[in-house]
Amino acid sequence: MQSGLILINKKTGVTSFQALGEIKRALGTGKVGHTGTLDKFASGLLVVLAGSALKLAPWFSHCDKQYEGRICFGVETDTLDPEGSVIAESAVPVREKVEQALSQFKGKILQEPPIFSAIHVNGRRASSLARSGEKPEMKKRPVEIYKLELRGWEPPFADIFVHCSSGTYIRSLARDIALAAGSRAHLCALTRTRVASFTLDMSGKDISPLPITKTVIAALGLPYFEITLDETEKLIHGKPLEPILEGKELFSQGETSPATESFSAAVFAGETLAAIVERSTGGWKYRCVIGH
């Protein structure tokens, strides 16, 4: 079957899982998955992997992301989006208060995820617990907001641009901005415009998987090795990595940020991705083998 990367523009009103249906039918396989959920009310870029490329999901899911969102002040819902029930109301703040609040959420912050989310609490999804009437305890998690701008203000609506780390909930950000401005709010619209260096305008009607090239690997911030076809056979059969990679140059395109103790790298045979490997204090080890 075909393997690779597919960029789609998810429409509002469908879940991320439902958006995969057409791709699964076209490719004739269920071996398709997205690399970061977009809520049903949201739209925008959904990065999809098919076939053996699904093994790369952990690296895609940790990419930074960019969004354009609309906050509706004055009303907070239990889901923090338009589909929830109203749980609090407040006066709409003035623009100056909103701008002051935005400045508090730039950089590294601790964020409490929404109770209606896929995060597991005591072995169950928080959203399942919330729907059954329970109120799960959502522990705050570190995230980073690289850029946060007010792009439009038509009370009670504020249009924002967000560039953030993986794991950031824009619904929670809307809630917290409102609280800091002395109000309440929910996120009434959201569009994901970028994942790593993949942009929304790269998506199209063609759902044929794109190969995982060195450019794609560079977008993930990974360096790469180049090996011969003979060495690829050794790699596929799980032979020790050190003799295969010994003396090989580690290439990088753009920015890569390997940690000092452990980092990942791709291995290419010509233009074909063969594996992802990881270096630790004990040397190189396999993370996943992609195949021929």
Q: What is the predicted pLDDT for the residue at 136?
A: 73
Strands 272-280 and 263-269 come out as antiparallel
3-class secondary-structure state, position 101: helix
Structure confidence at residue 2 (pLDDT): 79
Q: Say if domain 65-195 classifies as CATH 3.30.2350.10.
A: yes
Contact indicator for 119, 130 with CB cutoff of 8 Å: no
Looking at residue 260, what is its pLDDT?
35
Query: Under CATH, which number does the domain 214-289 receive?
Result: 2.30.130
CA dihedral 140, 145, 149, 150 (to 10 degrees): -10
- The whole-angstrom separation of Cα 80 and Cα 71 is 10
Q: What residue ranges do the domains of the chain occupy?
A: 4-63+197-202, 65-195, 214-289
pLDDT value at residue 255: 52
SS3 209: coil
Catalytically active residues are 39
pTM score of the predicted model: 0.90
- Are 183 and 74 within 8 A, CB to CB? yes
Per-residue pLDDT of the chain (292 residues; tens, 9 = 90+): 678 999 999 999 999 989 999 889 888 888 999 988 899 999 999 999 999 999 999 999 889 999 999 999 999 999 999 999 999 999 999 999 999 999 999 999 999 998 876 676 666 676 676 677 777 767 899 999 999 999 999 999 999 999 999 999 999 999 999 999 999 999 999 999 999 999 999 997 778 899 999 999 998 889 999 999 899 999 988 899 999 998 999 998 755 444 334 589 999 999 999 999 998 877 899 999 986 5
4-63+197-202 placed in CATH 3.90.1010: no
Q: How far apart are CA 25 and CA 198, in angstroms?
A: 24
Q: How many angstroms separate the CA atoms of 56 and 275, rounded?
A: 10
E strand or H helix that includes residue 241: helix 241-245
Q: Which of 104, 123, 126, 124 is nearest to 114 (CA)?
A: 126
Element (H, E) at 213: none
Q: Which residues contact 115 (CB under 8 A, 6 or more apart)?
A: 78, 126, 127, 129, 130, 135, 136, 138
CA dihedral 92, 114, 80, 150 (to 10 degrees): 50
